[in-house]
Amino acid sequence: MLFGRRKRRIERLLIVEDEPLVAFDTEHFLIGEGFAIVATVDSVAAAVRAMEGGGGIDLVLVDIDLADGNGIEVARAAQGRGIAVLFVTGNCPVDAQALAAGCLTKPYQQRDLFVAIRAIEAVIEGGKVPRRLPDSFSLFGTAG
């Protein structure tokens, strides 16, 4: 198809956010951008269960502070399954680069989230990373 959309490498997302309004807004925005949301959960335990469910997750968006633990635990579980992680949090953890493809600092514009996901996708595919990245986004050298 000459003018069709190119196939995305990142299509299926897991959202791990314990603030209901933020989770709802993020899910709604990403669905509108054509992503499939495998699940939106608010705890480490639920995130691990979702990843164990074999839902073909391409990227985990995870906050650091969760009701039953820490988003770093979710990132380690995702990393062990070869799933890329984007921290979406007020404070990027010190060891974020070892655990994630990037970190987007809250508060952020929804379009910044989209650009961050596209940049991670570019790293995974070995392609060109967008020249202009949001100031609130740190892209790390590896993804997944």
The position carrying tokens 């992503």 is: 35
Smallest CA-to-CA distance from 87 within 109, 69, 68, 65 is with 65
Output the six-digit token pair for 118: 């596209």
Decide if pLDDT at 5 tops 60: no
Model pLDDT, residue 21: 95
Measured distance CA(66)–CA(75) in Å, rounded: 12
pLDDT, tens digit (0-9, with 9 covering 90-100), for 16-60:
999 999 999 999 999 999 999 999 999 999 999 999 976 699 999
- In order of start, what are the domains of the chain with their CATH numbers? 12-139 (3.40.50.2300)
Smallest CA-to-CA distance from 14 within 76, 80, 83 is with 83
Torsion angle of C-alpha atoms 42, 45, 46, 49, degrees rounded to 10: 160
